[in-house]
Chain A
Amino acid sequence: MQKSVIVESLSKNYFKKEAVKQISFSIHENEILGLLGPNGCGKTTTIAMMLGLLKPTNGKVIIHGLDIEKNRISLLHKMNFISPYIELPKKLTVKENLIVYGKLYGVKFISDRIKYLSEKLRLEEFINKKTGELSSGQKNRVSLAKALINEPSILFLDEPTASLDPETGDFVRSFIEKISKEKKMSILLASHNMDEVKRLCKNVLMMNNGIIIDKGTPDHLIEKHGKKNLEEVFLKLNRNNNELE
């Protein structure tokens, strides 16, 4: 299968601190790749470089064969991002927010696209409500709708189900699973929810202190480290790595 994203020897230094150190990996078409690691390990910095928000100190991010540094605007048309740490304007209604982002991404038939996403993500009942008045589960679905407004071929999901109740979390996970297969998307999923990662991801990268400390399929990692589940693998790898540091 074709590689949609290739990350080559990517590094980021903030003054003297190395946040990301020479990491390399790739994401195939129709693949959900998990990115696991403790807070501050370099996940967000890596995603920011892949989105062109942050200039790498060294290395390259190649998306659909093009360097993001040289083709930022044209590649951003094909990408999108969701994170609980960024929000949509609270005073705008859900529909207004989707219209704005539809325009910013150059979506041709915005009304049709909003209607489609509203049905799929069950937004109809609050589409004309202000985004700030919604529950966190509803807001999460709206953010997902915004992230899908441009039918991206590459999607970055940073803790997409953080602080959601189990039912909404399951709905979001099922939706991601379904849409990634239907649209053959490449997805990078950063999460602290190990069950979510095991359920959705074909492959997993384990990150700590700015480097990839292990990678493989969830089952392979569990077997390799002789643990019962992914959470135990995560804890073992991070403890070992912290001791070495």
Chain B
Amino acid sequence: MSLNRIIGLFLRHFFLIKSSLPRILDLIYWPTIQIILWGFISKFFTIYSDYYNNTVGVILTCAILYDFLFRSSISFNMLFLEEIWSRNFTNLFIAPMRISEIITALVGTALIRTLIGLVPAILITSPLFGISILNLGIPLFFLFLSLYIFGITLGLFVSSGLLRYGPAFENIAWSSLFLLAPLGCIYYPIEILPDFFQNVAKGLPLVYIFEEARSILVNQVVNYSNIKNAFMLNGIYLLIGITLFYYSFSQARKKGSLINIGE
């Protein structure tokens, strides 16, 4: 892998973001609105719900974690879509870039995009709602890492579709996470789901990540087996995502989608 080429692709998106205030505001705007909305809902539940009455900010913390997942996945997809929208796709694929370098550059750039959006939103939770996500302690790092890996994996799945089917796949890029959200058990325990969906949900790392967050905040118990399960599932999905991306690239070369993808 060439660091120079990875930096090159990173710079392409860095230059784009740094020169456009509307783009920066757009990155910050949605997470902030999301957090403020869930902040008020959370405050309401804290006062009126028995389940949450001793745990300030469970919902808000889960909302921040979910938004982190959402932003990292969307950021990855957006970087790919930017190339299609700007009709730069062919230029990128005739440059001597390996697929592994493209994935690495997008993973790094997506993290920066995600943090630009989420850090201001996290910072306002403390003065506005008296809640700090740092209450999760050291496991917070593992939860974020796990969510980030899953977000990137979803990004790889969607980008594989974009690579193979072109802009027609764009709508899936936007809706992919909404499809998984009900099964991710973000705001409720897995027991709420019907039996069949519980079995499906257990195959997703999200269930273990959010279960762990609630366990720490509600019961003050850190259960590392949840974190371990999440990482194991993440590893499997990431491997499938990378394989699918390589396969889609090979199929795109056969079917000619790399030539006319912007059309």
Contact = CB atoms under 8 A, between A and B. Distances in A.
Interface of A: 12, 14, 44-45, 48, 51-55, 73-74, 76-77, 79-81, 83, 85-93, 96, 99-106, 130, 146
A53 B255 contact: no
Given A45-B256, A100-B8, A103-B11, A79 B91 contact: no
Contacts of B15: 92-93, 96, 100
A238 to B, nearest CB: 23
A14 B82 CA distance: 28
Nearest to B6: A103
Contacts of B93: 53
Given A55-B254, A103-B7, A44 B94 contact: no
A20 to B, nearest CB: 11
Given A73-B98, A91-B86, 6 more contacts: A55-B250, A83-B90, A100-B8, A103-B5, A103-B11, A104-B95
Nearest to B20: A91
Contacts of A100: 8-9, 11-12, 15
B9 A104 contact: yes
B175 interface: no
B223 interface: no
Given A48-B256, A101-B8, A88 B91 contact: yes
B171 interface: no
Contacts of A105: 95-96
Nearest to A73: B96
A73 B255 CA distance: 20
Contacts of B253: 52-55
Interface of B: 2, 4-5, 7-9, 11-12, 15-16, 19-20, 82, 86-98, 250, 253-256, 258-259, 262
A52 B256 CA distance: 11
B19 A91 contact: yes
Nearest to A12: B256
B106 to A, nearest CB: 14
A74 B96 contact: yes
A77 B8 contact: no
Contacts of B258: 48, 53-54
A92 B166 CA distance: 23
Contact of A91 (B16, B94, B98, B256): B16
A52 B20 CA distance: 34
Contacts of B255: 14
A54 to B, nearest CB: 5
Given A45-B256, A48-B259, A89-B86, A76 B8 contact: no
A222 B239 CA distance: 59
Contacts of B259: 44-45, 48, 53-54
Contacts of A96: 11, 15
Contact of A86 (B5, B20, B88, B97): B88
Given A87-B87, A88-B91, A106 B4 contact: yes
12 contacts: A53-B258, A54-B256, A76-B96, A88-B86, A89-B12, A89-B88, A91-B16, A92-B16, A100-B15, A103-B4, A103-B11, A106-B2
Contacts of A146: 91
A80 B89 CA distance: 14
Nearest to A57: B254
